[in-house]
Amino acid sequence: MRILPGFITAITLASSAVLWAADVAADVAAETVNPEADRQAFVSFYKNRFPDIDIQAHKDGAYALDPAKRAQWQAMEDFPPYEIAVDEGRELFSVAFTNGKTYADCFARQGIGIKQEFPHFDMDQNTVVTLELAINQCRVANNEAELDYDSDEMGVITAYMAFTSRGNHFDIKVPAAGLAAYESGKQFYYERRGKLDFSCSGCHMQATGNMLRAEILSASVGHATHWPTYRFKWEKVGGLHKRFIECNEQVGAVALPQQSEAYRNLEYFLTYMSNGMELNGPASRK
């Protein structure tokens, strides 16, 4: 991928400043990890950066930042490309496993309208559980094979579950036992990586609102709200970790497998930063 050289310089400088800030933050955090203070600072950053944009609007990503692109996208949403996925997901969700049970038996409220509770820190497993992981754990508990995280089946089931959760708001909790996972996700977000030596924050905080080739860099405060997402580039719905892989690869960093511990921790941090934001998945993006 080619990025304008001037842009790289600007971002590299900006992300050094962020790295420094992150170092300071990490020192402070070593003594007191305070997710809620982090979230308030995170939200304030974007409010200051985009004083005319309501914070909730960032659930639409880059389309919150550019009226022309938003208009194009809204026209596209008149015939939502994820609609078939939601319908297929609704059907698959109710198909019984060979033991007669269904997905509904594994989840609170029969799995309807629960996405805002994911990811959460599971005390028994001592790890972050995302919706995708919980779906596979449900399958294994019912003697079914796990789904590939990139499969159409995983895509459509999560699309349906997200659809039933639309309009709910994230309320992610970080219990004392989950602080280390939260911290590791936070570190991943602020750490620079890859040949281009960029952090997530370098692009999505310092350079947010700027163009990168033909794309406007979105704000991370809305990054968790709308998954899975139908991307025209993918020609199907895919999860948040599929997007992490792409963002890692475009800076020349080694991407991790979907649902690896590091990505689940990153999702935990990023979703906590979206607490109070409205869920609007599935969505469509270019």
Burial profile 43-77: b = 16 or more Cβ within 10 angstroms, e = fewer: bebbeeebeeeebbbbbbbbbbbeeebeeebeeee
**What are the backbone angles phi and psi of residue 82, rounded to the nearest 5°?**
-95, 0
Closer by beta carbon to ligand HEC, 62 or else 86? 62
Nearer to ligand HEC, 102 or 265 (CB): 265
Is residue 241 a contact residue for ligand HEC (CB under 6 A)?
no
Site membership for ligand HEC, residue 243 (CB under 6 A) = yes
* Residue closest to ligand HEC (Cβ): 61
Catalytic annotation present for 200: no
Residue 214: CB minimum distance to ligand HEC, A: 9
Other C-beta atoms closer than 10 Å to the C-beta of 275 total 20
61 or 111: CB nearest ligand HEC: 61
Q: How far is CA 174 from the centre of its chain?
A: 17
Question: Could you say which DSSP state residue 168 is in?
Answer: -
Q: CB nearer to ligand HEC: give 181 or 266.
A: 266
Please report where in the chains the tokens 């998945």 appear, as a residue. Answer: 281
168-227: contacts with ligand HEC (CB under 6 A): 198, 200, 202-204, 212, 215, 217-218, 223
Q: Which stretch binds ligand HEC (CB under 6 A): 23-31, 38-46, 241-249, 274-282?
A: 241-249
Is 192 in contact with 238 (CB distance < 8 Å)? no
In sequence order, what E strands does 97-206 have? 120-122, 127-129
- Distance in Å, CB of 216 to ligand HEC, minimum: 6
Strands 283-285 and 229-231: parallel
Residue 188 one-letter amino acid: F
Q: Which of residues 15-74 bind ligand HEC (CB under 6 A)?
A: 61-62
The nearer residue to ligand HEC, 63 or 160, going by C-beta atoms, is: 63
Instruction: Give the shortest CB-101-to-ligand HEC separation in angstroms.
Output: 33
Cα separation, 68 vs 121, in Å, equals 40
3-state secondary structure of 63: helix
Active-site residue numbers?
A: 247
Q: Which residues bind ligand HEC (CB under 6 A)?
A: 61-62, 198, 200, 202-204, 212, 215, 217-218, 223, 229, 243-244, 247-248, 250-251, 266, 285
